[in-house]
Amino acid sequence: MNNSHSGVEAKIGTVIVPAEAYISPEYARAEGEKLWPKVWQIACRVEELESVGDYVTYDILDESIIVVRSAVNKISAYYNVCQHRGRRLTEGCGHSKRFYCRFHGWSWNLDGSNHSVLDEEDWGGTLDTEDIRLPAVKADTWGGWVWINMDPDSESLAHFLGEAKGLLDPFDLDKMRFKWRQWLYFPCNWKTALEAFSESYHVHASHPQLNRWVSYKNWSRAVGLHGHHGVLRPRDSGDPQQGGSGFLGVNVRGDADARVAAIEQIEEMVRTLDATTPRGVVDAARRLIDELPEGTSAADVSAHLMASARRDDEARGIHWPEITPEQLQAAGYDWHLFPNSVVLPSLTSALCYRARPNGYDPDSCIFEVCALERFAEGEAPETEWVYEPDQSEEKWRLILTQDFSNMPEVQRGMKSKGYSGARTNPVEEVAISHFHEVLSRYMGIGAPSPVKQRDSQ
């Protein structure tokens, strides 16, 4: 990123993503034909398929896919449909030696081959076992997730992830495990929901309590099909010493005691989000006052905090990844993985979102949030997906409820005759305009308006 921007300045300001993509029933239906059957999408975490026979049912619109650990070192995916008369075989998750159809009792082995057909002789030898295999869906793993793709001719997952993979690999996301996971139906389009977490331009107004620390301006850029953003600089003059990772840095205004600021900030993030503050960092913050003299600079507090948390974690058997400051800077802190996932990676934790359409209603989606964290061997908590429709602060914590408050209002607002489309910020919301450029390619329609990215400044 460089600082020259004068030439493009006059042309920006009218980047428009039309509302149709969010509110049109025809568009929602077309996504069912042109998008979802063609893309790699996260089906579940690998940790959900620990033992041979563990399975998860992944539903997307009218499709349902069984993702299963079919052998010790193999994860397979199949269309979830009985080859007799079409009953679905599984729902939710579970463990089974075979897939059994409750209608007439046909069954399949974990490798997808048919195991039994009641009264098979009735077919007089005409049932071809290959014909009645469970049809396979492509499956692969990366980042600790199982990804599926219904298009047999699709590019590989590695190719689909492209440069994003290289930028995210240093975080070793596959070593993280669920800390908690919750979901709900949301009265907005799946993209409206996802985009509430694909930029941090909203933080200043939507999470005003965080301005007490520092209000950041962010860079945002496209990476292949995907997009990401990270901290560019504080919006006000701030303190040049402030740490600035957005989540784990120490952000201090003026002459505040950086040790106290660090503790208060981390405690606040525990209280209002509980997803970006792994235990090692929280414990290390609580030791700061004892370990550092008053007047320690924010940069030194930040460095000490991280070194201390890392040492503490190593002693507890939690191994941090080898990642350089340059790699951290290059990765940024928030990724939109096309089409429907957002991941905020940090050294020892990650906050993740996934949004899916809820049927063909453009105004409804399935929205999931989970916190991942590094744990010592065998110490990851037992978790399951918790359906939590109650949007209270008690159930979802302040920061998410603040985000939630925008999503249905945006969905409603976009239907107004007084709205012509989104004017995405060409510095801080590039990931969103790029998302729509990529989406329009899948949808076979021209990009609504050329996406102009402005150099960060």
Give residues in contact with Fe ion (CB under 5 A).
Answer: 403
Q: Tell me the window of 99-107, 147-155, 366-374, 417-425 that interacts with ligand FES (CB under 6 A).
A: 99-107
Instruction: Identify which of residues 78 and 353 has a Cβ nearer to Fe ion in the complex.
Output: 353
Least CB distance to Fe ion at residue 391 (A): 14
Taking the CA atoms of 191, 196, 200 and 201 in sequence, report the sign of the dihedral they define: positive
Nearest Cα to 181, choosing from 145, 147, 140, 137?
A: 145
Least CB distance to ligand FES at residue 410 (A): 43
Could you tell me if 146 and 42 are in contact, meaning their C-beta atoms sit under 8 angstroms apart?
Answer: yes
Instruction: Identify which of residues 403 and 429 has a Cβ nearer to Fe ion in the complex.
Output: 403
Least CB distance to ligand FES at residue 117 (A): 8
Which of Fe ion, ligand FES, none binds 306 (CB below 5-8 Å, type-dependent)? none
Instruction: Identify which of residues 106 and 219 has a Cβ nearer to ligand FES in the complex.
Output: 106
Which of ligand FES, Fe ion, none binds 403 (CB below 5-8 Å, type-dependent)? Fe ion
The pair of structure tokens assigned to 307 is 């070194």
Which of Fe ion, ligand FES, none binds 446 (CB below 5-8 Å, type-dependent)? none
Which of Fe ion, ligand FES, none binds 104 (CB below 5-8 Å, type-dependent)? ligand FES
Least CB distance to Fe ion at residue 47 (A): 26
Least CB distance to Fe ion at residue 249 (A): 18
Could you tell me if 1 and 456 are in contact, meaning their C-beta atoms sit under 8 angstroms apart?
Answer: yes
Residues counted in the chain: 457
Least CB distance to Fe ion at residue 180 (A): 18
The pair of structure tokens assigned to 409 is 């209002």
Instruction: Identify which of residues 85 and 311 has a Cβ nearer to ligand FES in the complex.
Output: 85
How far is residue 342's CA from residue 140's CA, in Å, rounded to a whole number?
19
Instruction: Identify which of residues 16 and 398 has a Cβ nearer to Fe ion in the complex.
Output: 398
Instruction: Identify which of residues 11 and 87 has a Cβ nearer to ligand FES in the complex.
Output: 87
How far is residue 198's CA from residue 123's CA, in Å, rounded to a whole number?
54
Q: Which of residues 159-178 bind ligand FES (CB under 6 A)?
A: none
Q: Total number of residues binding ligand FES (CB under 6 A)?
A: 9
How far is residue 36's CA from residue 45's CA, in Å, rounded to a whole number?
19
How far is residue 258's CA from residue 300's CA, in Å, rounded to a whole number?
9
Instruction: Identify which of residues 81 and 355 has a Cβ nearer to ligand FES in the complex.
Output: 81
Least CB distance to ligand FES at residue 76 (A): 20
How far is residue 163's CA from residue 253's CA, in Å, rounded to a whole number?
36
Least CB distance to ligand FES at residue 102 (A): 8
Least CB distance to Fe ion at residue 201 (A): 10
Could you tell me if 136 and 167 are in contact, meaning their C-beta atoms sit under 8 angstroms apart?
Answer: no
Which of Fe ion, ligand FES, none binds 204 (CB below 5-8 Å, type-dependent)? none
The residue whose two tokens read 């990476």 is 223
How far is residue 258's CA from residue 298's CA, in Å, rounded to a whole number?
5
Sheet containing 63-71: order of strands: 41-45, 145-149, 136-142, 74-79, 63-71, 54-60, 93-95
Instruction: Identify which of residues 48 and 334 has a Cβ nearer to Fe ion in the complex.
Output: 334
How far is residue 258's CA from residue 221's CA, in Å, rounded to a whole number?
31
Beta strands in 143-236 (DSSP E): 145-149, 177-186, 216-223, 226-234
* Chain position whose Cβ is nearest to Fe ion: 403
Least CB distance to ligand FES at residue 126 (A): 17
Instruction: Identify which of residues 66 and 285 has a Cβ nearer to ligand FES in the complex.
Output: 66
The pair of structure tokens assigned to 32 is 């069912």
**Residues contacting residue 283 through CB under 8 Å, at least 6 positions apart:** 309, 312
Q: Which of residues 102-131 bind ligand FES (CB under 6 A)?
A: 103-106
Instruction: Identify which of residues 363 and 403 has a Cβ nearer to Fe ion in the complex.
Output: 403
Helix (H) or strand (E) holding 409: helix 393-413
Taking the CA atoms of 285, 286, 291 and 295 in sequence, report the sign of the dihedral they define: positive
Q: Which of residues 52-91 bind ligand FES (CB under 6 A)?
A: 82, 84-85, 87
The pair of structure tokens assigned to 277 is 């503050």
Which of ligand FES, Fe ion, none binds 87 (CB below 5-8 Å, type-dependent)? ligand FES
In one letter, which amino acid is 361? D
Could you tell me if 22 and 413 are in contact, meaning their C-beta atoms sit under 8 angstroms apart?
Answer: no
Least CB distance to ligand FES at residue 169 (A): 42
Instruction: Identify which of residues 98 and 271 has a Cβ nearer to ligand FES in the complex.
Output: 98
Applying CB under 6 A, which residues contact ligand FES? 82, 84-85, 87, 101, 103-106
